[in-house]
């Protein structure tokens, strides 16, 4: 559970535009020990493979991303 100053920082960060949140996340990850970064990378690779398998099996409906991105940019939730 996030508490105190960390909670305030997290709440402020969550209100930033996505590209700024990505920059902050990248900077924070770069401060972690290499073994931890390697584990994060491994877990993301596993997740990507899991998602690709689901797509290949036809278990999800693929949608055109452009209309969704435009709706998000307008502050709408598609």
Tens of pLDDT, residues 34-44 = 999 999 999 99
Residues 6+ apart with CB under 8 A from 16: 24
What torsion do the CA atoms of 23, 53, 77, 8 make, to the nearest 10 degrees? -40
What pLDDT does residue 21 have?
95
- Alpha helical stretches, state H, the chain: 4-14, 18-30, 34-56, 65-73
Rounded Cα distance, 71 and 78, in Å: 6
Count of beta carbons in the 10 Å neighbourhood of residue 13: 13
Rounded Cα distance, 14 and 50, in Å: 27
Average pLDDT, the chain: 91
pTM (global) more than 0.85: no
């Amino acid at each position: 559970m996030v508490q105190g100053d960390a909670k305030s920082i997290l709440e402020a960060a969550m209100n930033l535009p996505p590209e700024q949140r990505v920059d902050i996340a990248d900077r924070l990850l770069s401060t972690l020990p290499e073994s931890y970064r390697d584990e994060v990378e491994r877990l993301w690779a596993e997740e990507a493979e899991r998602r690709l398998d689901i797509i290949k099996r036809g278990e999800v409906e693929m949608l055109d991303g452009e209309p969704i991105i435009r709706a998000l940019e307008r502050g709408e939730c598609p």
